[in-house]
Amino acid sequence: MPQIDPVNPGYEFGYEFQYAKRWASQVSYAWLTDEIPALSNNRSDYYRFKGRRIGFEQKFFFPETRSLHVHEYFGLELGHLEAHTVSDPVLKELLQPGDVQPPIGWMSTDRYTFFINFKFGGEFPLFRHFLLDMSAGAGIKYRDVTNTFSNPQMRDALIKWDIFNRYNPVKEWTGTMTFNMKIGYMFGRN
């Protein structure tokens, strides 16, 4: 199923195993790609996006207290993301009168991220064996971003005009906010 993520679009598959009444573990793999037309049409300056995300989540379920059979839980999610993107930064739009024409070329960006999130969520029955798993939380991540330029002069020009510092190589710890919605199928439960 395509994941709706404008930054890291792709297809994610996961498997959750509930091995006790209040404990479950989930493993997931996402194949990141720009081949999802609904998410890539507005990204004309990026191309050849590819990567993967691997995750593990441990869930602790609260005792059921409602008649709706909502399974509320606390979760601890660990993950790793690798992504590669090639882009053609457009700098002409940022020129002021009298500015020198910026260099032209492409930029290749490699991102490696390790993250840990603490989440609160719930699994809501939909119909038959299908359920909706929704969760939100916060955590931390370590990012390692490197860039390669076809024209070395591009780096200085991008740093001058980019107020978000997206093009600067970085190795840092930072905070995260997460919100997830997944549709799942339960095997063997009535």
The three-class DSSP label of residue 155 is helix
Cα 35 from Cα 23, distance rounded (Å): 36
Q: What is the pLDDT of residue 10?
A: 83
Pairing of strands 170-185, 130-149: antiparallel
Cα 77 from Cα 184, distance rounded (Å): 17
DSSP 71: E
Per-residue confidence of the chain (190 residues) as pLDDT tens digits?
Answer: 445 566 777 888 999 998 898 999 999 999 988 776 555 545 555 567 889 999 999 999 988 766 667 889 999 999 999 999 887 766 666 566 766 666 677 778 899 999 999 999 999 888 888 999 999 999 999 999 888 877 777 766 666 655 556 557 889 999 999 998 888 888 765 4
Domain boundaries, the chain: 2-185
Q: What is the pLDDT of residue 107?
A: 79
Q: What is the pLDDT of residue 72?
A: 92
- If you count them, how many residues does the chain have? 190
Cα 190 from Cα 184, distance rounded (Å): 15
- 18, 54 contact by CB (below 8 A): no
Q: What is the pLDDT of residue 190?
A: 45
Strand partners, 113: 81, 143
